[in-house]
Structure 1
Amino acid sequence: MIPGTIFADRVAVVTGVSSGIGKAIANALVAAGVSVHALSRRPIGDGADGNRGGLVWHKVDLAKDAEVIAFSEHLLSKGRELDFLVHCAGLFATGDVATTDVEQFDKQLMLNLRAPYVLTRALLPLLIRRAGQIAFINSSVWNNPRAGLSGYIASKYGLKAFADVLRAEVSPQGVRVVSFFPGRTATPMQEEIFRKENLDYDPESLLQPEAIASSLLDAFALPPSAEITDIFIRPAKPKALK
């Protein structure tokens, strides 16, 4: 259990919060006392805009630079503080190199790699000022390349490289950077992947988004003298895929 005082009065930006891992992380941060700016294209929660205690939703299409920059300039202009930046948004698509058009490849690079770069770059002054922390929710495919996933895996390899280079640049300024590599997780996106692969979807046999959120808070709660760089998480008792 993370003491609430560690996160009290802290501020976070979390992307991909409409469902799955991003939603679980946003909820966990709010429960710990963090004020969360939640970014997604679709409203979240039961209200018209998803706003609730500790969480403010911002309609941002991460594939559009202008919207990402506008949100970042909004925070900067308001003199807001920022302690945590969590990249959860992602796009998954399948297709062999020989048959997949370049447009689909570009869309995955745009959302999975370029958008985190643009958002991180824009918010870096706030994070440096607060000696903040940045988390990239990557994927276990980084360590397990498979046929038919060239665009997705290429973008995730790039995201790992970006995180490593970023860490080398900002660590001297007190900013910590961690990459998460979860295995198959019970999310709407994973359910769709199972359907496309003609596999039986049993969410209870998969990682739960809340477990990843808990691990993230543990990493953020480390004292400033320590830094976790990479976290690999997999289901404890995975079932054979059928």
Structure 2
Amino acid sequence: MATHVITGAGSGIGAAVARRLHARGDDLVLVARNAARAKELAAAHPGARTLVADLAEPDRISWALSHQELPERVDSLLHIAGIVDLGPVSELRPKTWRQQLDTNLVAPAELTRLLLPQLRVARGDVVFVNSGAGLQAHAEWGAYAASKHGLKALADALRDEERDQGVRVTTVYPGRTASPMQVKVHSQEGREYDPSRWIDPDSVATAVITAVDLPRDAVLENITVRPGPGPR
């Protein structure tokens, strides 16, 4: 039975991934920002374990995890949590840059560092759920795209560094997905939100799980997921 450490399991893509893996009987270790959130996640996924670590404060993740019991092996580390705040470069303050870089880039790097021993034991997978913004930046997406471009670089470097250890690294680049984050984006863009126009979180979850389940003689290094054809 595989053990998966998942961030962002409370909503959107992360919730879809956690639900699917839980339904098939895998062991889940869900990362929560605080004890109250951990209790909610545990109730939603009976039998799952939780780890409390605030990804918005990556300097404190090591300290937080040192006071909790970590799994002995990790078959997959799934980085799905993220935040977004839009705005033109002319108006973005350092705090906004730091918040997105800390949560979307530095925290995944730190959590990976701390769990690499367990991933090496299992010859496991690290999956980064990135974004189309990790491949191309548009107006008012500067800070978010910078964090996601950095996440791509992190994944590429980690893949080269850990290949001989048997650790596989995959990046998934979803387009706009019907999720709470997309609701916020539409609000910031001043647009009406219609979830039927965008990718279902379960479709992105399928890409994530496919990468993890792929036979060990291969690796899906990069997966791009875009809204499909048809009426939207």
- TM-score with structure 1 setting the length: 0.87
Q: Which deviates more from structure 2 when the two are superposed, residues 82-91 or residues 28-37?
A: 28-37
Q: What SS does the aligned partner of 2:4 have? A: strand
Which residue number in structure 1 is paired with residue 29 of structure 2? 37
Which residue number in structure 2 is paired with residue 22 of structure 1? 14
Aligned residues: 231
Q: What SS does the aligned partner of 1:50 have? A: helix
Pairwise CA distance, 1:51: 5.8
Pairwise CA distance, 1:143: 2.6
Q: Distance in 2 between matches of 1:150 and 1:206?
A: 22
Q: Deviations over 1:191-234 (max 9, x none)?
A: 11112212221112210111111121111111111011000001
Q: Distance in 2 between matches of 1:202 and 1:186?
A: 8
Q: 1:63 aligns with which of 47, 56, 65?
A: 56
Q: What SS does the aligned partner of 2:28 have? A: strand
1:237 equivalenced with 2:208 (yes/no): no
Q: Which deviates more from structure 2 when the two are superposed, residues 141-150 or residues 153-162?
A: 141-150
Question: Is the Cα–Cα contact under 8 Å of residues 5 and 28 in structure 2 kept in the other structure?
Answer: yes
CA RMSD of the aligned region, Å?
A: 2.2
Q: Deviations over 1:85-128 (max 9, x none)?
A: 00011110112112111111011110010000100000000000
For 1:60-209, list aligned pairs within 5 A. Answer: 60-65=53-58, 67-70=60-63, 72-73=65-66, 80-209=72-201
Partner letter of residue 237 of structure 1? P
Pairwise CA distance, 1:27: 1.1
Question: Is the Cα–Cα contact under 8 Å of residues 58 and 106 in structure 2 kept in the other structure?
Answer: no
Aligned-residue sequence identity (percent) comes to: 35
Q: Which deviates more from structure 2 when the two are superposed, residues 176-185 or residues 65-74?
A: 65-74
Q: What SS does the aligned partner of 1:28 have? A: helix
Q: Mind listing any 5+ residue stretches in structure 1 that lack a counterpart? A: 1-8
Q: Mind listing any 5+ residue stretches in structure 2 that lack a counterpart? A: none
Q: Distance in 1 between matches of 2:59 and 2:106?
A: 13
Question: Is the Cα–Cα contact under 8 Å of residues 89 and 112 in structure 1 kept in the other structure?
Answer: yes
